Amino acid sequence: ETIDLSVAHPAWAAGPNMVHPRIQLNATILPTGKVLVSGGSAKDEDTTTGTLEAEIYDPAANTFSSAGLMEFARVYHSNTLLLPDATVLAVGGNPQRTVYEQHIEIYSPPYLFNNAGGPAVRPVIAAVVPSVLRYNQVFAVKTLAGANIKEVVLVRPGAVTHAFDMDQRLVGMSFTAVPGGLKVKAPANGNLAPPGYYMLFIVNAAGVPSVAKFVQLH
């Protein structure tokens, strides 16, 4: 039996579409909550059908937008990792045994640039006190940009294999601006943020993230 998904699930039919079909793609959560989608191919492990166009998925708007072209096809066994400076590392690709893509690419998302194409002014974290956090703890983020911050987030460091990162996570935290920075409340429990190390980013009103500080949560 053939099922018309546009009838059975009209929301699917109305939803966004990527520029090309992809298998073994990589999807990396950015500090803003948007997702960089890159790599993959129409046919598994076939670089001739590789998708070079990267895209950014906006979950709030449920849309994909262009994120430029990659230089190299990234197929099976390729990885992408969010780096502490809020760029994304793209590595690998193993279309067949003994064949491995050795080039490394670094993607700089649009939030790192201003309207003129120059570097955006980024908020700066001077310190996180303490850097070892407990659940529900109120802690300090020292920054001169406190009055202009709209988000404080924890992002789990990447741990990708075979195009999957089952540990990938972004957790927003409540905060208030105070003289010299922010007072932030750590996540309530390990169901929201499992214990371990995280990158802490602050994001300003223009959507520009800081360079991260590593913290430990337990």
Q: How many residues does the chain have?
A: 218
* Whether pLDDT at 4 is above 80: no
Residue 15, pLDDT score: 58
Mean pLDDT of the region 146-171: 91
- Comparing 9-23, 86-100, 129-143, the range with the smallest average pLDDT is 9-23
Alpha-carbon dihedral angle through residues 129, 133, 137, 138, given to the nearest 10 degrees: 20
The residues, any chain, with a CB within 8 Å of residue 164's CB and separated by 6 or more, are: none
Residue 159, pLDDT score: 86
Average pLDDT, the chain: 91
DSSP secondary structure string, 36-74? EEE--BSSTT-GGGB--EEEEEETTTTEEEEEEE-SS--
Question: pLDDT-derived band of residue 13, with 50, 70 and 90 as boundaries?
Answer: very low
Mean pLDDT of the region 183-191: 97
**Global pTM value:** 0.90
Query: Closest Cα to residue 16, out of 90, 66, 50?
Result: 66
Mean pLDDT of the region 193-197: 97
Question: pLDDT-derived band of residue 17, with 50, 70 and 90 as boundaries?
Answer: confident
